[in-house]
Amino acid sequence: MTHDYLIIGAGPAGLQLGALLERDGHDYVVLEAGTAPGTFFGSYPRHRQLISINKVYTGSDDPEFNLRMDWNSLLSDDPGLLFGRYSQRYFPAADDLLRYLADFATATGVRVHYRTRVVRIGRDGEGFHAVDADGRTWRGRRLVVATGVSQMYVPAIDGIETAERYDTVSVDPADFVNQRVMIIGKGNSGFETADALMETAAVVHVAGPRSVRFAWQSHYVGHLRAVNNNFLDTYQLKSQNAVLDGTVQSIRRRPEGGYLVRFRYARTVEAIREIRYDRVIACTGFRFDASIFDEGCRPRLVINDRFPEQNPAYESTSVPDLYFAGTLTQQRDFKKSTSGFIHGFRYGVRALHRILNSRYHGAGWPATELEATPEAITDAIVARINRSSALWQQFGVLGDVVVVRGGTAYHHEEVPVAYLAEGGLGGGSALAVTLEYGADHDAVDPFDVSVPRVAENDAHAAHRATYLHPVVRHFRDGQVVAVHHMAENLENEWNLPTVHQQPLAVFVKECLAEGDAAQGRAGDDGS
C-alpha cells in the first residue's frame, strides 16, 4: 500500500502534522522508533528542566493570545489539549511534556506505528519507501521527515573522541566532586551542565570560539537563557570558574589520569596554553542524521552538514516531494527566529499542511474576505497583530497577507514570507504583515539606559525601532516596493488611532492606488 504521506518521527512536529492530516481525512502514516511520542524528550534536556516557558496566567481569556506565552502546546481545536493542564511551572519538567504528547496523540487519533525504527529510505517510480528494522517496507508518494536533530554534532577537534559527551555523561553532581572540568560549547546544553556542577566540581571552564550570546539581547531563544546562566556569576565573582574564549586545538589523555587540553585563546597575549583537567565534556549541539537515505534521494545538507537544505515550502532543494517538519526547519531561519522550537515550528507545520493541501489536494490557502477599502484592511490588520500568536512567535518568518482581486480583499493568515515572495499565492499585488525586531536589535544592550532608544508610540521614528513591532510590506510580483513600520508599544498593543491606525490606513490607501495603477498599465499593454 502506498500512502499519500509517509511521516518519519512522532515528536511534536510529527504529531502536529499527523493531527492536521487526520482532521482533514488524508491518507498518511507516522513511523516512530520509540515506544511513545517524543522520544527525544525522554533523554533531553539531560537535567530534565525545559527552557520553553509555560505562562499559565496572562490576564487574558483569548486562547489565541495566550499561545504567545505557551511554548509547549500543539495546535488543536480542543481546549483540553493545552499544556497548562499538565504543569503550572514557568519552566516545566520534560516528563510533563512527554505525558502531554502521549495524550495529544491519543486524543487526536494520529495514526502512529511505534517501535518502528526506519533504517533505510529509498525512492522509486511510485514515491518513497522506508524499510524498518524488522524488514517491513512502508511506502508514500510524499515523505515528511520530522525526526529532529537526533545525532550529536561533534566538531573536528583532535582527540575529541576521548572526551565525554552531553548525551551520555553522568548527570549526578556527586560524580564530579573536587574535579577540574572543561565543557566545550557555550550554548544552553553547555551552561545547563556547568550550572549542575557548580556545587561539587573544584573548577569548571566553559570554552568556545565565539562570545556568549544572550537570548535576552539577540531575541533568539536558542542562545543562552537566563535560567541557565547562574554559572556566569561564579566566573565574574572569582569563584574558580571561567568562560574561555578561543578554540580547543587538541585533547590528550594523560598517563597519570585526566586530560591535557591545548587551547588557543582568542583575546589574550598568551596565544596557546596547555591546561590540565580531570574531565572534558563536549556539549556541542546536535545534527540531522542523513545516513538512512539512499544516495539517490539523500537531501543536500548545509550549516556544517547539520541540517537539510530547504526551499520556502519546507521541501528539500535537491529531492522533490521530500519535506521537513519541526526543528529541522530552523535551516530556514537559523539562529534568527523560532523554527527550532515547538512554539515556532507548530505554526510552520500548519503552514506546511496548507502548502500540501494547495499542491496536492486543490485547496487554496484559507482566506477571509474583506471589503477592498483602506479602512476594512487596516481594521483587519490591527485586529490580528494584537492577538496573533503565529506572527508573534515566528517573527519575520510568517506573515498575514492581504491580496485584492476583482474588488475584493482576501486576508490569508500565517503565510511564510519567503513562500509569498516566490509566488506561492500567485503574482500581483499583496500586503504582507509581520512582527519584527529592528535591524540592529541584537547590537543594543536593552538594559543600558545610556543608549538612546526610539520613544514608545513614536510613529515618525517607527522605522528605527529596535523592539518588536509590526512591519507592513507591499509586494508586487514577489518584489517589495514599499514598507511601513508601526510604532513600538510597551504593552504590544498597536491600536492607537493617531499613532498606529491612521498612518497604516494612509499606507494601505497608497498601496491600493498603486495596485490599481499597475493593473491599468498592464491592461494598456494588452496583458
pLDDT digits 0-9 by tens, 389-417: 999 999 999 999 999 988 899 999 999 99
Residue 205 main-chain phi, psi, to 5 deg: -115, 125
- Lookup: cell for 370: 474583506
Residue 525 CA to residue 527 CA, distance in Å, equals 6
Chain segment 256-281, per-residue pLDDT in tens: 999 999 999 987 666 899 999 999 99
What percentage of the chain carries pLDDT values higher than 90?
Answer: 89
Confidence check: pLDDT of 198 > 70: yes
Domains and CATH numbers, the chain: 2-148+287-360 (3.50.50.60), 160-282 (3.50.50.60), 367-524 (no CATH)
Kindly report the three-state secondary structure assignment for every residue of 424-460: CCCCCEEEEEEEECCCCHHHCCCCCCCCCCCCCCCHH
Chain segment 202-258, per-residue pLDDT in tens: 999 999 999 999 998 998 999 999 999 899 999 999 899 999 999 999 999 999 999
Q: Model's pTM, two decimal places? A: 0.94
Residue 5 CA to residue 307 CA, distance in Å, equals 22
Residue type, 11: G
Confidence check: pLDDT of 527 > 50: no
Write down the pLDDT at residue 517.
Answer: 59
- Lookup: cell for 80: 483540553
Residue 297 CA to residue 317 CA, distance in Å, equals 11
